[in-house]
Amino acid sequence: MDSALFEPSLYVVKGMVIMDNDGNRLLSKYYDKKTFPSVKEQKVFEKSLFQKTVRANSEIIMLDGLICLYRSNVDLFFYIMGSAQENELMLLSVLNCLYDSVSQILRKNVEKRTLLENLDVVMLAMDEICDGGIILEADANSVVERVALRTEDIPLGEQTVAQVLQSAKEQLKWSLLK
């Protein structure tokens, strides 16, 4: 079938990548062995993807027959790939979910340094958003709930004074910035 129609399948996402501003891969998951059989193809694809998107701030691009959606902040680039037959808005919901979850996990400091400090939780979040190419969760709050951030685990009584002050500071800062 030459159908340009969307295939009725739950396998929607072909890949998720987070890169830094030199185009180095920080985190990546590829779900489609056909399109990206090995690391070599992935790296080649990432390189051209990065070159095409580093200066164009426009959210969506077609590359090698794949739809790639992206978002960047400070020194991080977030990418979601899907097939050319895919519903772009579905992919967009995945991208937004990834970005917002990471943003919540890093307490709104979406940058390379904080990402590396919280790498474990971000990995868990990526795993919660997409399972083998199927969108598992599209709501950032649910994702963050499911990865169980450490500070939330500690009841208020057992947190150190410094931790409480820290979170109070953060909240104040954000209320002022709004």
Applying CB under 8 A, among 28, 35, 72, 103 the residue interacting with another protein is 28
- Within residues 41-70, the interface with another protein by CB under 8 A covers 42-43, 56-62, 69
Q: Which is nearer to another protein, 44 or 172 (CB)?
A: 44
Q: Which is nearer to another protein, 121 or 177 (CB)?
A: 121
Does 172 engage in binding with another protein (CB under 8 A)?
Answer: no
Query: Site map for another protein, 82-121, x if CB under 8 A?
Result: -----xxxxxxx------------------xxx-xxxxxx
Q: Among 120, 152, 153, 127, which residue's Cα sits nearest to residue 31?
A: 127
In the bound complex, what is the minimum distance in angstroms from residue 8's beta carbon to another protein?
4
